[in-house]
């Protein structure tokens, strides 16, 4: 009898353990995890609004990560944007996940194009656990759904509610999503934007020089000379208020103009004004580094094409050389600095989620004042208005969003 009782107790304990194990397995398989993270990006890093199935809404800043517990299964849409303008979500992107219980899913805000991107578990786990990220934020699907239901009066249509409140400031001021969108848009406007630029001078006239070919009349027209000139630079812009931006750029210019061809005789304009033979010819060459600070006003009514005007002022560090046409020997040289202003105008073309391309026009160039001792062995050249790089100029630049 005792043996039967002992066997019965053991069987009961085994059954209880099996039930407990089954319940625990069922509980762990009743949900899955979605891991979201936002690495630091190149250029502007605005706060993004993350939306699950157009309902639950979270915020994600750079170097932040979210662990989201999901109870539902099947297709789940995760989208993001950083603000609303003219009823359109700015920089909106989305991914779809086919959720199965008990699995992990990794989604990151790509740090090159700022779009959502699904990554494999191995890569996602490694990137998500980056120690440079902030503390993990934990969220629960059911809790967020309950919160959304309790606030259904103000969040029943997210896109309509957010966009209408931004376009009409008399709308509901306590709308949470609207506050997020406005705050994020403001943050975006203040971000620094890196810029790469190329500038091509297109001179119409040229200034005076210390020598001219003796067999040709002196001409101020640039088209009568062999000229090469180009500039490369980089900088940054800061969106400070609506269409107003501050910018800082540094551009290096090279300018070379053939004055006297190889083997020709030149009329020297210093000393006694003698005729001098130049078997190796004469080039006028300048190099300039222009460091400029300025402001731009951008007409922002259009999302894609945005014309602008601007003004700049800065320091120009220049060098001027009279050299042989092959560049092997220098007849004379001068170095110095000049402060000057410039005016700009252009148009920006925005490619969504990628970059902004700008085509622009610039005018006004700095002039160099200097003295070259015993130039061409004819005397001292005292120059008060020598060009460093030509005006006007056209250019192209590419920048972050």
User: What is the pLDDT, as a whole number, of residue 211?
Assistant: 92
Query: What average pLDDT does this structure show over 362-386?
Result: 91
* Structural domain spans, the chain: 29-187, 190-399
Give CA–CA dist 196/232, Å, rounded.
8
User: What is the pLDDT, as a whole number, of residue 41?
Assistant: 58
Identical topology for domains 29-187 and 190-399: no
User: What is the pLDDT, as a whole number, of residue 297?
Assistant: 94
210, 218 Cβ separation under 8 angstroms: no
Q: What is the Cα gyration radius of the chain?
A: 34
Give CA–CA dist 154/265, Å, rounded.
85
pLDDT band at 90 (very low <50, low <70, confident <90, very high): confident
Give CA–CA dist 173/156, Å, rounded.
16
The more confident residue out of 56 and 248 is 248
CA 55 to chain centre: 31
Question: What is the CATH code of the structural domain delimited by 29-187?
Answer: 2.60.40
User: What is the pLDDT, as a whole number, of residue 43?
Assistant: 53
pLDDT band at 340 (very low <50, low <70, confident <90, very high): very high
User: What is the pLDDT, as a whole number, of residue 167?
Assistant: 47
Query: What average pLDDT does this structure show over 307-319?
Result: 97
pLDDT digits (tens, 9 = 90+) for 14-41: 554 544 433 443 445 689 999 999 886 5
Three-state secondary structure call for residue 127? helix
To the question of domain 190-399 being in CATH 2.60.120.260, the answer is no
pLDDT digits (tens, 9 = 90+) for 46-66: 788 888 888 768 888 888 999
- E strand intervals along 73-209: 74-81, 84-85, 88-89, 93-99, 104-109, 116-119, 137-140, 192-201
156, 86 Cβ separation under 8 angstroms: no
Give CA–CA dist 102/378, Å, rounded.
90
Three-state secondary structure call for residue 395? strand
pLDDT digits (tens, 9 = 90+) for 368-379: 999 999 999 999
289, 316 Cβ separation under 8 angstroms: yes
């Amino acid at each position: 009898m005792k043996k039967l009782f002992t066997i019965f107790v053991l069987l009961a304990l085994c059954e209880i353990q099996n039930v407990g194990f089954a319940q625990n397995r069922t509980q762990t398989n009743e949900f899955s995890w979605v891991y979201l993270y936002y690495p630091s990006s190149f250029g502007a890093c605005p706060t993004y609004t993350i939306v699950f199935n157009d309902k639950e809404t979270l915020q994600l800043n750079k170097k932040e990560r979210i662990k989201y517990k999901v109870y539902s299964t099947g297709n789940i849409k995760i989208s993001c944007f950083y603000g609303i303008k003219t009823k359109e979500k700015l920089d909106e992107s989305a991914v779809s996940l086919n959720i199965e219980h008990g699995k992990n899913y990794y989604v990151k805000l790509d740090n090159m194009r700022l779009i959502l991107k699904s990554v494999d578990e191995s890569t996602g786990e490694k990137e998500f656990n980056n120690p440079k990220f902030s503390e993990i934020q934990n969220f629960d699907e059911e809790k967020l759904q309950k919160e959304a239901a309790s606030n259904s009066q103000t969040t029943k249509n997210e896109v309509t509610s957010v966009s209408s409140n931004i376009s009409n400031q008399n709308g509901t001021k306590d709308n949470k999503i609207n506050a997020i969108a406005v705050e994020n848009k403001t943050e975006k406007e203040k971000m620094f934007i890196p810029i790469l630029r190329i500038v091509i001078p297109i001179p119409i006239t040229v200034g005076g020089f210390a020598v001219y070919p003796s067999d040709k009349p002196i001409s101020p027209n640039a088209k009568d000379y062999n000229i090469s000139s180009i500039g490369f630079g980089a900088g940054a812009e800061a969106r400070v208020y609506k269409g107003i931006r501050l910018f800082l750029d540094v551009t290096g210019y090279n300018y070379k103009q053939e004055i006297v061809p190889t083997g020709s005789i030149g009329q020297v304009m210093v000393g006694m004004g003698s005729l001098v033979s130049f078997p190796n010819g004469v080039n006028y060459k300048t190099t300039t580094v222009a460091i400029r600070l300025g402001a731009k006003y951008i007409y922002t009514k259009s999302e894609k094409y945005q014309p602008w005007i601007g003004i700049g002022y800065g320091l120009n560090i220049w060098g001027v050389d009279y050299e042989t046409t092959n560049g092997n020997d220098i007849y004379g040289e001068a170095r110095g600095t000049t402060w000057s202003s410039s005016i700009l105008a252009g148009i920006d073309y925005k490619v969504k989620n990628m970059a902004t391309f700008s085509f622009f026009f610039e005018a006004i160039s700095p002039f160099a004042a200097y003295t070259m001792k015993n130039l061409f062995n004819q005397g001292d050249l005292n120059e008060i208005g020598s060009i460093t790089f030509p005006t006007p100029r056209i250019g192209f630049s590419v920048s972050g969003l």
